[in-house]
């Protein structure tokens, strides 16, 4: 509602994408955004309260979104980063970062998806020297960031349909290839529903053809944008609008759904990784790594959704960390179908610690405690710990070191 970036819709998407990606400075993008802006909508006088609606006045393109990020805006990560050597600092600590998803969007407080997307795309922008196009599936990320005619994206950004983001991204990559522009890279992104369910066929095709696209799935484990319906990534026993906590086996059933990182690995594409908003530095590093590789790449990011999971908005990072530290969400990297690295659990917690703070699992604790179901979920975590070697014993590495020759 307040500060927004370029006007939304075609002005920020296909019509300006090729132009925008030829320019590396924020200023040059602003010039084009401003010229595109004049073709859209009525001129609006500023709201007395300081807000503006519809078309963004030209003066605002010199506003905060167009400026380098100020120190206070980078928050506590900057403080932590300042204790690290330069090479280890987060992209977000860099005052000259791109700020690809800027303020003014309408995500809920504590939205893991908004956080993950901002870190991922800023890292991708840095890795590509801002020569990048982002393609978005339908879902919360698209809806909260682009209420027409506004947008919070400050990157060439394209939305088409719920299920075709991988195909659109493949097409964009093919177009740039035909133009001889191998400097412009393509990132596609979507929620778990758009990725593991409706977009799955397109994604599998993109993998199979080894198209030069990084696809990022922000997994909040349900169709959040339309009211928390179950997806193929919803965990067993979770309550959603379509898997109610009723009957002898309340919540989502066991034995269904899709483990997309492993399905991606089965395509033997160059790079597959999982990541979490609990470790944003790791997410950035994986995005940068993925952008150093050509061909189809896939990153699956766990992004808690306070609204759909029934958690406090201040607990997003804590919940995401409990998922990884319980073993329910393994964090690893794979190349050409083989796991090459995994992030060891630092302090193992029982799955119960992860489940309890979430209202979607409340029926496992009240009115009757369901130890049988909790034990089955613990068994899943234990299997992940074994499968990805998440609790390496002393002297044994978490996983084999990444082969340098596999990198681009
Ligand atoms: C073909 C089609 N079917 C259904 C919808 C309605 N729809 C829009 S967003 C959405 C849910 C998106 O879920 P997910 O991909 O998990 O993203 P999230 O909102 O959870 O981030 C649905 C069902 C649509 N836009 N198009
Ligand atoms: S419903 Fe969930 S995913 Fe959607 S904006 Fe809110 S917190 Fe984010
Ligand atoms: Mg989702």
In tens digits, what is the pLDDT along the chain, a chain of 408 residues? 233 333 333 333 333 333 333 333 333 333 223 222 222 333 334 434 333 333 333 444 444 444 554 444 444 444 446 666 777 777 877 777 888 999 889 999 999 999 999 999 999 999 999 999 999 999 999 999 999 899 999 999 999 999 999 999 999 999 999 999 999 999 999 999 999 999 999 999 999 999 999 999 999 999 999 999 999 999 999 999 999 999 999 999 999 999 999 999 999 999 999 999 999 999 999 999 999 999 999 999 999 999 999 999 999 999 999 999 999 999 999 999 999 999 999 999 999 999 999 999 999 999 999 999 999 999 999 999 999 999 987 556 555 443 333 333
Distance from residue 303's CA to the centre of ligand 2 (Å): 9
Pocket of ligand 1 (CB under 6 A): 113, 138-141, 162-163, 190-194, 220, 223-226, 231
Q: b/e map of 143-174 (b: 16 or more CB within 10 Å)?
A: bbbbeebbbbbbbbbbbbebbbbbbbbbbbbe
pLDDT at residue 88, as a whole number = 74
How many Å apart are CA 15 and CA 20, to the nearest integer?
9
- Residues with C-beta atoms within 5 A of ion ligand 3: 191-192, 220, 224
CA-CA distance, 200 to 130, in Å (whole number)? 28
Atom 11 of ligand 1: nearest residue by CA position: 223
User: Mutation test of ligand 1: which of 225, 232, 257, 305 has the most ligand atoms closer than 8 Å to its C-beta?
Assistant: 225
pTM summary value: 0.82
CA 134–ligand 3 middle distance (angstroms): 18
Res 311: pLDDT: 98
CATH numbers and ranges of domains, the chain: 99-406 (3.40.50.970)
Widest distance between CA atoms in the chain:
67
């Amino acid at each position: 509602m307040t500060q927004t970036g370029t006007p939304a819709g075609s002005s920020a998407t296909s019509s300006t994408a090729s132009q925008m990606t030829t320019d590396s400075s924020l200023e040059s993008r602003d010039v084009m955004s401003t010229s595109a802006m004049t073709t859209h909508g009525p001129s609006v006088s500023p709201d007395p309260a300081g807000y503006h609606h519809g078309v963004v006045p030209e003066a605002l393109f010199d506003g905060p979104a167009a400026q380098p990020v100020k120190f206070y805006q980078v928050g506590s990560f900057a403080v932590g980063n300042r204790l690290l050597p330069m090479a280890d600092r987060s992209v977000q600590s860099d005052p000259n970062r791109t700020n690809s998803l800027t303020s003014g969007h309408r995500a809920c407080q504590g939205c893991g998806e908004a956080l993950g997307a901002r870190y991922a795309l800023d890292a991708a922008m840095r890795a590509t020297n801002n020569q990048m196009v982002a393609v978005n599936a339908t879902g919360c990320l698209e809806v909260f960031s682009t209420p027409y005619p506004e947008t919070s994206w400050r990157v060439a950004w394209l939305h088409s349909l719920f299920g075709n983001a991988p195909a659109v991204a493949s097409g964009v990559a093919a177009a740039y290839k035909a133009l001889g522009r191998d400097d412009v890279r393509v990132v596609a992104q979507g929620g778990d529903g758009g990725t593991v369910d409706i977009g799955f066929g397109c994604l599998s095709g993109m993998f199979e053809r080894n198209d030069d696209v990084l696809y990022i799935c922000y997994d909040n484990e349900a169709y959040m944008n339309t009211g928390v319906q179950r997806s193929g990534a919803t965990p067993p026993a979770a309550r959603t609008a379509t898997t109610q906590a009723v009957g002898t086996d309340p919540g989502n059933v066991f034995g269904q759904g899709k483990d997309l990182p492993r399905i991606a690995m089965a395509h033997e594409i160059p790079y597959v990784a999982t990541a979490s908003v609990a470790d944003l530095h790791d997410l950035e590093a994986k995005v940068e790594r993925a952008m150093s590789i050509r061909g189809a790449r896939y990153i699956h990011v766990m992004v808690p959704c306070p609204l759909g999971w029934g958690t406090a908005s201040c607990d997003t990072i804590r919940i995401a960390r409990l998922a990884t530290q319980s073993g329910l969400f393994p964090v690893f990297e794979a190349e050409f179908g083989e796991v090459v690295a995994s992030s060891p659990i630092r302090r193992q917690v029982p799955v119960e610690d992860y489940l309890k703070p979430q209202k979607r699992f409340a029926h496992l604790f009240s009115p009757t405690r369901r130890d049988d179901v909790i034990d089955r979920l613990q068994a899943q975590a234990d299997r992940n710990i074994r499968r990805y070697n998440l609790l390496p014993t002393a002297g044994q590495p978490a996983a084999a070191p990444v082969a340098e020759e596999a990198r681009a």
